[in-house]
Every structure is written in C-alpha cells, then in structure tokens.
Amino acid sequence: MSDKEGGASEGGLNVTLTLRLLMHGKEVGSIIGKKGETVKKMREESGARINISEGSSPERIVTITGPTEGIFKAFSMIAEKFEEDITAAMTNSTVTSHPPVTLRLVFPGSQCGSLIGKGGSKIKEIRETTGAQVQVAGDMLPESTERAVTISGTPQAITQCVRHICSVILESPPKGATIPYRPKTMPGAGHPVFQQQQQQQQQHASQAFTIQGQYAFPHQDLTKLHQLAMQHIPLPSLGQSNPTFPGMDASVPTSSQELAIPNDFIGSIIGRQGSKINEIRQVSGAHIKIASATDGSPMRQVTIIGSPTSISVAHYLINVRLSSVVTDLGAL
C-alpha cells in the first residue's frame, strides 16, 4: 500500500509512503520491547509512525508510515532487531550457520505484477542487486485483495530490497479498490480447528484436514495452513475420498521455487529417516527436492515444485521447522 504526497522524484524525502508488515506475536513482542521502549526508540530515530494492530490474533499487522528515508531507517532497525534475536538464540549453540532475517510485507495484488516484472525480470533484478531472497505469494491473503511478499537476508540486504520495492510501487499505484488483509482472531482451544463461514467449505475442509492428531503441527500452524488451503482451490479436489492436500488439481499450473537452507539446519527439514520432509510433502502436495551437499558451500539448494498454493504451504512448513529449531536454541 502506498500514498504519494507531493510531486517528488522517487525516493525523495517529501514522498510519504505507508508499508504494511505481517508479523507473528513473538516478532511483535520483540519490536515493542520492555514497556514499549524498543518501538519508542524506533519511532524517534526513524521519524516514521509505527502502529501495531490490536487483537489476540496469532498474526498482527505492523503499519509504518513516513517519508521514504524514515521508512528505510525503520526497516533497518526492525531487521537489525530480528538479527539480534537470532544471534541471541544461537549464543549457546553449536550451530554455525546463521539463518537469515525474514520479513513479510503486504501489498495490493494489483501492484505485485510490477514487482515480479515481465517473465520475472524485475524480481530477479531485485534479488541479484540486493542479495535478498524475495518471494511474492501466488494467492491473495484471505478475504482481501492483498498478497504477501516475503524478503529474507541480512539486515543490509533487506533494507536495500525495501528501497527497490518502494521504487517499484511508487511507479505502479494500485488499480481499483484494495480490500486490506485483517488477521482473524484465533479460535479457542475447544473450537473446531478449521472454521469457515460457508458450510460447504467447512465440510470439505474437515475432510481434507483431519491431520491434527497425525502431524506435529501446533494449532496456529494448522490455522495458517487452512487459510492457505482455502485460497483458490476447487472444493471438489478437497473432498476426495483420500485427500492429500491442495497440489492435486491438474488444472492448476505448476511452478517451482528454490530456497537456500544452511547445512546445519537441513537435518531438521529432513527429520529422522525422512519423516519431516515426507510430512511436508504429504501436507503440501508439493514435490520437494534437496540437492546434495556441495564442497565448501554452507548452503543446500531446496527446490519446491507444485501449484502456487502447494508451494506456499511447503515454504511455510519449512519456515516453521527452521523457526522451531532456532527457538529451541534459546528463547528469542
């Protein structure tokens, strides 16, 4: 989302922007800090307005508004705070590879085409110029016309990436009305895991997602999976007698996405005798290939192939595994 005030050239100080971030509760707690001291410091030093949505949802929207340089300073401070959290979590660990900082931005779907560029040219240029990984979600966020854009890398790479993204969205204003994404409040523990307003969707969802007892995913992760799964998937495919998960509809075009995972963390993705990777494959419906270790390289290439939704689900589950490993190393 962006608002341009004044006729300044792109990146000029009198261009006012509004960017929205999607964060989990733990990330929000880190940004707020004790007695709100961290967010207060970020507001004062960046000059940007930083507002955090209310509610008991597992996800919160963080809205950052201000002149472009203030926005970049705020993003730099947020990324550096997350970097500190990761470093602190790894202090007493034998793990040598440092997982990247990851931020999720939210943009109107109509602007995402410009961000990707013709044949993926713009997003490739941003990746190569900044060194950050950038992924634009294939589907809209639930009950909205917005998409998530995930960026990961060093704090410096992330800040540079945000500069490039701002440049693109200033040149490509959103088309038509935007329905903003609002995170749903998470149902209580006694609630059905998967709730949907339409009865038919609820029926099919319950058939497709009777997995809480079979898989070791926490409640909030199942809720997230449900949100992903209900996006643009024909309901009959979810109601099969032996459902696997959304990558099964032959009419949905397949694509691929590559991730670089530190060697030290690849074991947590694979699991004992391949149990975790098989779980992720079965739940997402995606085909996942892990490249062999390359001499001298600290990273392993992971390729995810499937429908946009199955790729999103697989990517999310891999991030859940990585987050749980880092969290286990020490409290964030």
CA–CA distance from 73 to each of 64, 131, 160, 170, 244 (Å)? 11, 19, 11, 18, 44
Examine the fold and report which residue of 146, 171, 196 is the final residue of a domain before the chain moves on. 171
Q: Are residues 128 and 22 in the same domain?
A: yes
102, part of any domain: yes
What are the 10-residue block averages of pLDDT along the chain, 332 residues in total?
A: 42 73 90 94 96 83 94 96 88 74 93 92 94 90 90 95 94 87 61 33 34 39 50 37 40 73 84 85 85 79 84 81 64 40
- pLDDT, residue 329, reads 53
CATH number reported for the structural domain that contains residue 322 in this entry: 3.30.1370.10
Q: Are residues 118 and 262 in the same domain?
A: no
178, part of any domain: no
- Report yes or no: 131 and 154 within 8 Å, Cβ to Cβ: yes
Q: Are residues 128 and 261 in the same domain?
A: no
**Residue 42 and residue 176: Cα distance in Å, rounded?**
33
Q: Are residues 158 and 277 in the same domain?
A: no
- pLDDT, residue 249, reads 44
CA–CA distance from 71 to each of 65, 87, 188, 257 (Å)? 7, 24, 36, 29
- pLDDT, residue 293, reads 78
Q: What angle do CA 161, 166, 171 make, to 5 degrees?
A: 135
Q: Are residues 137 and 20 in the same domain?
A: yes
What SS3 state is found at 317?
helix
Q: Are residues 146 and 47 in the same domain?
A: yes
183, part of any domain: no
Q: Are residues 166 and 303 in the same domain?
A: no
- Quick: pLDDT tens for 163-221: 999 999 999 888 888 889 988 765 443 333 333 333 333 333 333 333 333 334 444 44
Query: What's the predicted TM-score (pTM) here?
Result: 0.56
Q: Are residues 29 and 157 in the same domain?
A: yes
Q: Are residues 125 and 266 in the same domain?
A: no
CATH number reported for the structural domain that contains residue 138 in this entry: 3.30.310.210
Counts for the chain of helices (H) and strands (E), in that order? 12, 9
287 lies in which domain range? 255-329
- Quick: pLDDT tens for 137-163: 888 888 889 999 999 999 999 999 999
Q: Are residues 146 and 261 in the same domain?
A: no
Examine the fold and report which residue of 151, 171, 191 is the final residue of a domain before the chain moves on. 171
CA–CA distance from 244 to each of 241, 251, 255 (Å)? 10, 16, 19
Examine the fold and report which residue of 116, 144, 171 is the final residue of a domain before the chain moves on. 171
User: Alpha-carbon Rg of the chain, whole angstroms?
Assistant: 20
The 3-class secondary structure across 50-113, one letter per residue, is: EEECCCCCCEEEEEEEEEHHHHHHHHHHHHHHHHHHHHHHHCCCCCCCCCCEEEEEEEEHHHHH
Q: Are residues 25 and 149 in the same domain?
A: yes
**Residue 194 and residue 224: Cα distance in Å, rounded?**
10
237, part of any domain: no
Query: How many domains are there within the chain?
Result: 2
